[in-house]
A and B are shown apart, each in its own frame.
Chain A
Amino acid sequence: MKLFWAFTRQAFYNTAVFRFEFWLRLISVYLLMYTIYWVWTTLYTQTPEAFGLSLQQMVTYGILGMALEIFLDVGPEWYVATQVRTGAIDTDLMKPLDFHVHMLARSAGEMMFSLGILALPSFVIGYFLFDLRLPEDLTTGLLFGISLVFSFFVFFHIGFLLGVLSVITLDIRSIAWAYYSMVSFFSGQIVPLWLFPDFLRKISEWLPFQAVYYIPMSIYIKRVIGSTALQAVGIQVFWAIVLALFARWAWTRVHTRLTVQGG
């Protein structure tokens, strides 16, 4: 456990170096929120109370989708890919710590950092400028918090698996574009799954990606409540376990054929 925290703290320091990036990120977040705000406002002016949701709920969903990405998307695959490409991966493997756990600890550190430094200011922007509502009651807030933990866990593994792929392909940049645009699509980050045509919704319900954005965000705006909400968290737990096992298996497989570049 002490080791775990050591890595977390290290990741925290590494990220803190890029101070000037801070303002750029905030302005970009503002623009993303601004866009999604106008999309829903425009659509709802045409069709008020569409699909049994108020504009406020819909805007909150949209803004949340932008805010969550800031700290959920820590990108462990870029770390793995860089280490593999430069050959520095051997120092990671020499550490007296399981690589999968090491990456999880590092990503958790980065996530914690972004949550405090970037996500909180973004929530403030969302709250004051774009009508982002707080959860209606304490239970919703708590359930959302629990759900977020599993979101992170699932999203981490989605990235980690891509990182494992980089051991085989060496370059994942172009694959990552396609991959993440699919993730964004099927996770309901921008357009919620209940607006999808039936066959696409069926597909998304069979994929792990809904566990990243759709479930916590639907809980937050109370689109799913009570036992359905608990069931949704159950789906997240299921995917978290499946992906963790799959990631471990894939890493062990790839580990044996790892070629370290350079000297």
Chain B
Amino acid sequence: MNPVALYFRLIRVAMQARLQYRADFFTGIIGVIVLNIVNVGLISILLSRFRHLNGWTLWEMVFLYCLWILGHSLFSLFFWHIRTLEDFLVQGTFDQFLIRPASPFILFLGREVQYLGIADATFGIAGLSLAFTNLDLQWGGLQWLLFGASILAGTLIETTLSLLIACIAFWTGRSRRAHSLFMHINMMVQNYPVDMFGYVFRAIVTGLIPVAFMNYYPALMLLGKLDPQSPWGWLGYMSPVVALGLVLITSAIWHLALQHYSSSGG
């Protein structure tokens, strides 16, 4: 069976398992939507009083937030459980992926789906449509292409970074702390425009942990806040490149980690 078909079959099984718990499904969806409404609500209260945040108006902020959420929703749906890799390694249950005649990577990825991504996607689409109308955006083919590519790039960036952090556990046995730190940085980029912060933070989320490419740089370009001809204009188009770069790095590290792996036994 080819890896892609195998992955989709695994995902279908995981989905059926999830849908066993209907009540949990609905409260979860409502919970995530309320959470997002509160986040955007706080931003809009601030902006109704101060009009803009470092030059970002309400709907531009909504656009920024929802662009992040859309990329994140796919991550959340299919790759959320990457952070649980640590448990498999510590308990020795990771061996189950190695002894089957298929790629351990596919077997691990196909293990679970997290339906909460559906709520994120719903919220993201609704918010982006509202922002799009209110900002009266006029996009050509290039912008739509960049928009779609940026969402997929956002998913890949979050997935690969998450996987890189999870790989730490191959060497140290633990990665949860690093994950929660990553989540904090991610939330800062999700909620606020990066240019509001100091230089060190901007450098970190651009070069070291490039989550600013999930929403900030493409949003600059899509909202016409960045002149493509300016010296830094090219950054607006870089998200897919950054994502591909991360995919290459992560796949190299993953193979290195697998070679390093020695079971904790049990």
Chain A window 200-239, contacts with chain B (Cβ cutoff 8 Å), 1 for yes, 0 for no: 1000000000000000000000000000000000000000
User: Would you list which residues of chain B between 75 and 101 have a CB under 8 Å from chain A?
Assistant: none
A139 lies within 8 A of chain B by Cβ: no
In the complex the two chains form, is B30's CB within 8 Å of A46's CB?
no
A21 and B180 CA atoms in complex are apart in Å by 11
A42 and B46 CA atoms in complex are apart in Å by 12
- Please judge, given known A-B contacts A31-B185, A38-B197, whether A177 and B46 are in contact too, CB under 8 Å: no
In the complex the two chains form, is B41's CB within 8 Å of A185's CB?
yes
B251 lies within 8 A of chain A by Cβ: no
Chain A hits for B177, CB < 8 A: 20-21, 24
A34 lies within 8 A of chain B by Cβ: yes
A184 and B38 CA atoms in complex are apart in Å by 9
Chain B hits for A32, CB < 8 A: 184
Which residue in chain A gives the minimum CB-CB distance to B33? A178
Which residue in chain A gives the minimum CB-CB distance to B200? A34
Chain B hits for A177, CB < 8 A: 31-32, 34-35
Which residue in chain A gives the minimum CB-CB distance to B24? A171
A28 and B183 CA atoms in complex are apart in Å by 10
Chain B window 186-200, contacts with chain A (Cβ cutoff 8 Å), 1 for yes, 0 for no: 001001100011100
B64 smallest CB distance to A (angstroms): 14
A169 and B35 CA atoms in complex are apart in Å by 20
The main secondary structure of chain A at its interface with chain B is helix
B181 lies within 8 A of chain A by Cβ: yes
Chain A hits for B35, CB < 8 A: 177-178, 181
A241 and B39 CA atoms in complex are apart in Å by 31
B12 lies within 8 A of chain A by Cβ: no
A34 and B201 CA atoms in complex are apart in Å by 10
B50 lies within 8 A of chain A by Cβ: yes
A195 smallest CB distance to B (angstroms): 5
B48 lies within 8 A of chain A by Cβ: yes
A242 and B65 CA atoms in complex are apart in Å by 39
Extra contacts, 8 of them, besides A39-B46, A51-B49 (Cβ < 8 A), are: A24-B181, A35-B191, A43-B53, A46-B50, A182-B38, A196-B45, A197-B45, A197-B48
> What are the 3 tightest A-B residue pairs by CB atom distance, in nearest-first order?
A178-B34, A174-B28, A174-B31
Cβ contacts A to B, 26 pairs, < 8 Å:
A20-B177, A27-B181, A31-B181, A31-B188, A34-B197, A35-B197, A38-B192, A39-B192, A46-B51, A47-B50, A50-B49, A50-B50, A169-B23, A171-B24, A174-B27, A174-B28, A174-B30, A174-B32, A175-B27, A178-B35, A181-B35, A182-B38, A185-B41, A195-B45, A196-B45, A200-B45
